[in-house]
Amino acid sequence: MSESNASDRRQSLTVADLVNWLHRFDELTATELDWLTELDSAIGDADHGVNLIRGTRALRERFEGQHPANVGELLGQAGVTLVATVGGASGALYGALFVEMARHVGSAKSIDVATLASSFRAGLSGVVTLGRASPADKTMVDALTPAVEALEVAAERGASLRQALVDAFAAAAAGREATTPLVARKGRASYLGVRSVDHIDPGAASTALLFEALSPHLEHSPHPTTRTGQTMTTARRQFVNQPDDIIAEALDGLALTHPSLVAWHPESNVVSRATPAARKVGLVSGGGSGHEPLHAGFVGTGMLDAAVCGAVFASPTSEQIQAGTRLANSGNGVLHIVKNYTGDVLNFEIAAELVSDDGIEMQTVIVDDDLASDGAADGPGRRGTAATLVVEKVCGALAESGADLATVAEHGRGVVARSRSLALALSACAHPGESRAAFDLEPNEVEFGVGIHGERGVSRIPFATADELVEQLVTPLADELELKRGASVIAVVNGLGGAYPLELSIIARQVHRLLSGRGVGVARSLVGSYVTSLDMHGASVTLTVADDDLIGAWDAPVRTPNLTW
């Protein structure tokens, strides 16, 4: 009997088979890296493939030449590895899938079709619970659900293992394609609204690859990458050695430049105060890199105690956040300041639960100031953008003055409630090592309502003079905040990375003029590139309704690498 015929008649998967599955998943992810990036460029921030392959490579290294004793141990180790290496929402969700599968199968040495189906069902439940997604939300659930159902049907009718795996991949691939006409309701793609239609969800695409990897009898046909309908742009050059080293090298440079202010912890990519504070509420923030000087540039007296730095545009892992939280803890509790993005919220939640179990008192402030993403009630809510800086400054001043954790958190939430931001871009950013921008614009177009992860905005508007464009930012903000004559605000005019100081000063001039025309005073203003999106040529305006207490906290002394007075 031939080896292939023997393989076709097997009815269970061993630990060795599952290790080979993970190796093939890594191979397929590498083969389709450009395609995954292309998909995520269209409706996200172009990092899904880059983040995922970091995890699949870690899986390959973890199980190279060594096999765990049983299936549960293998799947559990795989889940922990993905959580620790991928970052963003994908790391937490793929980690939940594998961890829940591991809990279901336990110490089994091999699994048949029925057990495979029930373990994937357990994993799907973990993904749905953590990500709060349902079918038709345009997420990985849209590929995972039909694949699990196909395995269950195969088990019920007594299908062979080979046929069950083929059916599962076919169902996952169909689910992937079925995301194309959907409007995204979860994750960053949801901020595009109807502009997310006609695009495959990248999470569903990678989930289909996971099931394809489990079907070794299938010959893989690579997906073409295209940029149809886009204008060619000049390739960009960057001061980069190796893209994989950019975060570590940049943080090393920050610590070397400001040795009296900050210390870099390379094992977790956390930046903390060079001299830890004693007996005060600890402040921790963080997120994907690419927004510098947010967050690491705001570590120091009067602001953060620690900043946790993920990969470019990808949330740090929960393990990194735990490390930062413990560094910031001096016995009076720790406040997490979290921008409202799915990956950030998930990983900070997980970390907060784990450190709370160790006796650290925790509170969290979710920053959701972006007016452009104020959409459906069942979506992820407004994004967190430049108001994060205001929250960190005000909370930092209160913590430095000796306020307790509840008071600092309450004031932080108050700042969020009275802050709104809007942004636009004249050109997109390019990821480190990439020569092409995340999206292209015609010469007469402006991307309106952009976030800070290189993603598209909510619409495109005609290019106009600086004053006309700024009016389209300020007027909706003032209306949303219901600013009346006699009101007072803190105004932050923020460059997104590519706007130069002359441009930002012109924007600031018009912000002052427009607010003055409404009888609104600018009590304090800050102009510069503080919350960026790599080299995106754009700007945001943040308005925070001010009162005497807020101004007092804003004026309090601060000494960090990028904000000092």
Sort strands 537-545 and 12-14 into parallel, antiparallel or unpaired.
unpaired
Co-location of 391 and 425 in the same domain: no
Co-location of 179 and 58 in the same domain: yes
Co-location of 197 and 249 in the same domain: no
Q: What is the DSSP letter of 296?
A: G
Which amino acid would we find at residue 67? H
Co-location of 50 and 188 in the same domain: yes
Q: How far apart are CA 329 and CA 324, in angstroms?
A: 9
Radius of gyration of the chain (CA): 24
The answer to the question of residue 562 being in a domain is no
Residue 488: strand pairing partners: 521
Co-location of 426 and 545 in the same domain: yes
Which entry of 291, 295, 336, 431 is annotated as an active-site residue? 291
At 460, phi and psi to the nearest 5?
-120, 135
Co-location of 113 and 204 in the same domain: yes
Residue 309: strand pairing partners: 287
Closest CA to 402 of 279, 275, 277, 274: 279
Per the annotation, the verdict on 258 as an active-site residue is no
Q: What is the DSSP letter of 244?
A: G
The answer to the question of residue 62 being in a domain is yes
Closest CA to 286 of 301, 272, 302: 272
Torsion, Cα 110 115 117 120, to 10 degrees, reads -70
Number of structural domains found in the chain: 3
The answer to the question of residue 218 being in a domain is no
**Cβ-contact 326, 274 below 8 angstroms:** no
The answer to the question of residue 225 being in a domain is no
Task: Give pLDDT tens digits along the chain (565 positions).
Answer: 334 444 456 789 999 999 999 999 999 999 999 999 899 988 988 889 999 999 999 999 999 888 999 999 999 999 999 999 998 899 999 999 999 999 999 999 999 999 999 999 999 999 999 999 999 999 999 999 999 999 999 999 999 999 999 999 999 999 999 999 999 998 888 888 898 999 999 999 999 999 999 987 667 778 876 544 444 344 568 899 998 899 999 999 999 999 999 999 999 999 999 999 999 999 999 999 999 999 999 999 999 999 999 999 999 999 999 999 999 999 999 999 999 999 999 999 999 999 999 999 999 999 999 999 997 666 789 999 999 999 999 999 999 999 999 999 999 999 999 999 999 999 999 888 777 788 889 999 999 999 999 889 999 999 999 999 999 999 999 999 999 999 999 999 999 999 999 999 999 999 999 999 999 999 999 999 999 999 999 999 999 999 999 999 999 999 999 999 9
SS3 89: helix
- Cα dihedral across residues 439, 445, 448, 452: positive or negative: positive
- Backbone conformation region of residue 401, classed left if phi is above 0, alpha if psi is from -120 to 50, else beta: alpha
At 214, phi and psi to the nearest 5?
-80, -5
Q: How far apart are CA 25 and CA 502, in angstroms?
A: 49
Co-location of 69 and 162 in the same domain: yes
Tokens in use for 228? 């149809």
SS3 323: helix
Domain containing 393: what range? Answer: 243-372+380-403
Per the annotation, the verdict on 537 as an active-site residue is no
- Backbone conformation region of residue 498, classed left if phi is above 0, alpha if psi is from -120 to 50, else beta: alpha
Co-location of 112 and 202 in the same domain: yes
Which entry of 104, 431, 453, 537 is annotated as an active-site residue? 453
Question: Going by C-beta distance under 8 Å and a sequence separation of 6 or more, which residues neighbour residue 402?
Answer: 280
The answer to the question of residue 227 being in a domain is no
The answer to the question of residue 235 being in a domain is no
Q: What is the DSSP letter of 279?
A: S
Which CATH number do you get for residue 268?
A: 3.40.50.10440
Which amino acid would we find at residue 52? L
Closest CA to 256 of 312, 306, 296, 205: 296
SS3 312: strand
Question: Going by C-beta distance under 8 Å and a sequence separation of 6 or more, which residues neighbour residue 75?
Answer: 18, 98, 99, 101, 102, 105, 119
pTM higher than the cut 0.95: no
**Cβ-contact 171, 147 below 8 angstroms:** yes
Which amino acid would we find at residue 19? V
Residue 410: other Cβ atoms inside 10 A: 15
Task: Name the helix (H) or strand (E) containing 521.
Answer: strand 521-528
